[in-house]
Amino acid sequence: MSEPAKSAQSASPPLQVQYWPVDRLIPSPRNARTHNPAQIAEIAGSIRAFGFTNPILVGEHGDVVAGHGRLAAARQLGLVEVPVIPLVGLTELQRRQLILADNRIALNSGWDLEMLSLELKDLSGLGVDLSSLGFSARDLQTRYRRGSAEASPMKTRSLNSAMLPSPVLAISGVLVRIG
């Protein structure tokens, strides 16, 4: 008879989303990830557009483990409460490791450039301001057009002009000619 499959739940207590006052949250002085004002504004715009869809991860005493940028954006928006997931039972060493892992592991992913291009083209055709999704004019003009290895370490397809969003895009008041 084989061992029963382990679930994420068996490794830790069940996660619960709670709403805590912003003033209760304490940014970690050991957080190595930085957020410039433009990125905080992007996060704030996303919260305004879609709601607070990604709770902040906190230690039992309100120390922020993941979500420093979301906390800064919430403060910028004047929010009084934010969704949090208290991580119960982590040691100080585990919290410090998770602060780094949560930020770094996400950077190790890539893009399926063909799917990205199709999605950008569809959203652009529906009138979506692509800059509100975190894509800069430079991203749209160079990286995703050329299919650089940096954009997709696992899949490096080249994009042709038929795969790009419409020939001219308006991004944050800037006209970008593609092609």
* Strand 56-58 to 81-86 pairing: parallel
pTM over 0.95: no
Over the stretch 77-88, which tens digit does the pLDDT of each residue have? 999 999 999 999
* Alpha-carbon distances of 179 from 2, 61, 146, 152, 167, rounded to whole Å: 57, 53, 11, 21, 7
Say how far residue 108 (Cα) sits from the centre of its chain. Answer: 13
Q: Are 161 and 146 in contact (CB under 8 A)?
A: no
Q: Which residue has the higher pLDDT, 173 or 66?
A: 66
Amino acid at 106: A
Question: Tell me, what's the pLDDT at 6?
Answer: 55
Question: Tell me, what's the pLDDT at 150?
Answer: 44
**Span 35-44, average pLDDT:** 94
Over the stretch 100-131, which tens digit does the pLDDT of each residue have? 999 899 888 888 888 888 888 888 889 888 88
Q: Are 171 and 137 in contact (CB under 8 A)?
A: yes
Q: What is the C-alpha separation between 12 and 31, in angstroms, rounded?
A: 23
DSSP readout, 54-108? SPEEE-TTSBEEE-HHHHHHHHHHT-SEEEEEE-TT--HHHHHHHHHHHHHHHHT
Which single residue is written with the structure tokens 């409460």?
81
- Within 10 angstroms of residue 66's Cβ, the number of other Cβ atoms is 24
Q: What is the C-alpha separation between 142 and 21, in angstroms, rounded?
A: 42
Question: Tell me, what's the pLDDT at 98?
Answer: 93
Domain boundaries, the chain: 12-107, 113-177
Over the stretch 123-179, which tens digit does the pLDDT of each residue have? 888 988 888 888 777 777 755 554 444 443 333 333 444 444 444 444 444 444 444
Q: Which residue has the higher pLDDT, 172 or 23?
A: 23
Question: Tell me, what's the pLDDT at 130?
Answer: 82
Architecture of domain 12-107: Alpha-Beta Complex (3.90)
Torsion sign (Cα): 27, 33, 36, 40 = negative
Residues 6+ apart with CB under 8 A from 40: 69, 72, 73, 76
